[in-house]
Structure 1
Amino acid sequence: YVKSGDVVLDLAGGLGGGVGVSKVVKSVDRFTQLKKTNASIYKKLDTYLLNANHIDGKSKAKFFKEVLGYDRNNINKLAKQIKFNQKTATKKSTNQYGIKYQQIIKIEGANGKLVDVKFGWIRSKDGVVRLVTGFPSK
């Protein structure tokens, strides 16, 4: 039951004319999954990919800063460009945590430069896609 004032987001491609309860629930579930995916993007950028002090991530932070002009101070502009797209992502493997994907996304740097960046993702058992890593595609 959807009452006036409820927000029903169509993130999965059209609910059509008659909105059934199961479709509303699926849209809400999909919205929750997308929120978690977006949160994973910001977290991975902040704690790893743009963190010049991270033991494993500092070389990636150097790439994002020197080549694209991104660091933790302008994280939002970069994060908005990083979106998982199952149509362009390549399935790489499956393990006990979920399905791993790679996806190349053309990123516009804060400096205006366009660079293909390869991103690693995982779709966990709960259906949420999370950002794992990012690095130059060459």
Structure 2
Amino acid sequence: MREIDPGWKPTPILIDPNNVEHHIAKNTAEYREASARYADLIRARSNEDGLPGGAPTSSEPTSTPPTLQQRPAAGISRGFNRQNLRDKLERYLLEPSHSQNRGKATWFEQNLGFSRLNWRDLADQIYFEPSAARLTETTDWGDRYEMLLPVRGANGRNVFVRFVFQRDPFGEITLITGMPD
């Protein structure tokens, strides 16, 4: 990427230097960000040359995954069923009074600036990628996976957050929870 755009640098991400999973997640995030920047440059060049291939509309999925700096366009698959996402974030993960929350809402607000009021900003950064997910357990309800995802807080802080997803016996993937790593 730097050969094409010498001034480009990936978004800095805080990691534990002794944690291999953090290094892998950091490299994956940098790869996605570089891929997205490359695609942006190609689209810009196509537009300058009068060629087709400008920025996709909301109904056209892009071939590059979202990065910390992008909000996904409507209609882009994020690898899991997002129908329960608002409920999961607004009424559970970011709700301090939820009986099973165990302080997660407080952590998300104090460390990243996320609350029930800006749940969409967190939701836009959550995705499921099977090749990067780690199977953690099998239950009667399905297989549970964990993914360490880079998250940019509403306060500008970058951290990794562990998200848990579940694939039910019919293959549908849903978000279960998120927690500090």
Identify whether the pair has TM-score above 0.5, normalized to the shorter chain. Answer: yes
Paired residues of 1:49 and 1:58 also in contact (CA < 8 A): no
Match of 1:107 in 2: 151
* Alignment partner of 2:110 out of 63, 66, 89: 66
Stretches (4+) displaced over 4 A: 33-36
1:70 CA displacement: 0.3
Match of 1:82 in 2: 126
* Alignment partner of 1:97 out of 141, 144, 156: 141
Deviations 1:32-65 (A, max 9, x none): x979711222221111100011012150000110
Name the % identity: 32
Please state if 1:53 is matched with 2:66. Answer: no
C-alpha distance in structure 2 between counterparts of 1:35 and 1:84, whole Å:
5
* Aligned residue pair count: 110
1:79 CA displacement: 0.2
1:126 CA displacement: 2.0
C-alpha distance in structure 1 between counterparts of 2:165 and 2:159, whole Å:
19
C-alpha distance in structure 2 between counterparts of 1:114 and 1:122, whole Å:
25
Paired residues of 2:78 and 2:128 also in contact (CA < 8 A): no
Cα RMSD for the two superposed structures: 2.3
Gaps of 5+ in 1: 1-8, 14-30
Paired residues of 1:34 and 1:128 also in contact (CA < 8 A): no
- Structure 2: which amino acid aligns with 1:37? N
SS at match of 1:42: helix
Match of 1:136 in 2: 180
- TM-score, normalised relative to structure 1: 0.72
Gaps of 5+ in 2: 1-58, 64-74
SS at match of 1:130: strand
Deviations 1:103-129 (A, max 9, x none): 000100000000100011100112111
